[in-house]
């Protein structure tokens, strides 16, 4: 029984640590994407090793897709978060006024 408790505790701590590290990506988006690209986009969440980012329009979407490998490289080298394996971009839905 103690083995199970130990395993659960370890998994919980690891997951919590990964989530906290993932918050660094959200908080430091300008450093990761650069000032120009970060002004056009916003990271939303991380799920199953994929960072989801919303962009303002189709032009910004194309720029982000073009810069995707650079963004991943920055995440995995600067922030040392190798569990983020992909970045998905979506155009932000327009809000009703």
pLDDT at 4: 63
The more confident residue out of 11 and 37 is 37
CB 9 within 8 A of CB 43: no
pLDDT at 22: 66
The more confident residue out of 20 and 65 is 65
* pLDDT tens readout for residues 13-58: 555 555 666 677 778 889 889 999 999 999 988 888 889 999 999 9
pLDDT at 92: 83
Catalogue the long-range contacts made by 45-51 (C-beta closer than 8 Å, 24 or more residues apart). Answer: 46/19, 46/22, 46/84, 49/83, 49/84, 49/85, 49/86, 50/84, 50/85, 50/86, 50/87, 50/88, 51/25, 51/75, 51/84, 51/86, 51/87, 51/88
Q: Where are the domains of the chain?
A: 2-91
Angle at 42 between CA 41 and CA 45, to 5 degrees: 140
**CATH number belonging to the domain at 2-91, selected among 2.60.40, 3.10.20, 3.30.300, 1.10.3470:** 3.30.300
pLDDT band at 97 (very low <50, low <70, confident <90, very high): very low
- What average pLDDT does the structure give for the chain? 79
């Amino acid at each position: 029984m103690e083995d199970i408790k130990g395993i659960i505790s370890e998994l919980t701590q690891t997951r919590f640590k990964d989530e906290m590290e993932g918050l660094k990506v959200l908080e430091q988006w300008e450093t990761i994407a650069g000032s120009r690209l970060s002004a056009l986009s916003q990271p939303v969440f991380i799920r199953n090793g994929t960072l989801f980012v919303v962009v303002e329009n189709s032009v910004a979407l194309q720029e982000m897709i073009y810069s995707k490998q650079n963004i991943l490289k920055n995440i995995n080298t600067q922030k040392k978060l190798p569990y983020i394996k992909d970045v998905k971009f979506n155009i932000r839905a327009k809000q009703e006024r």
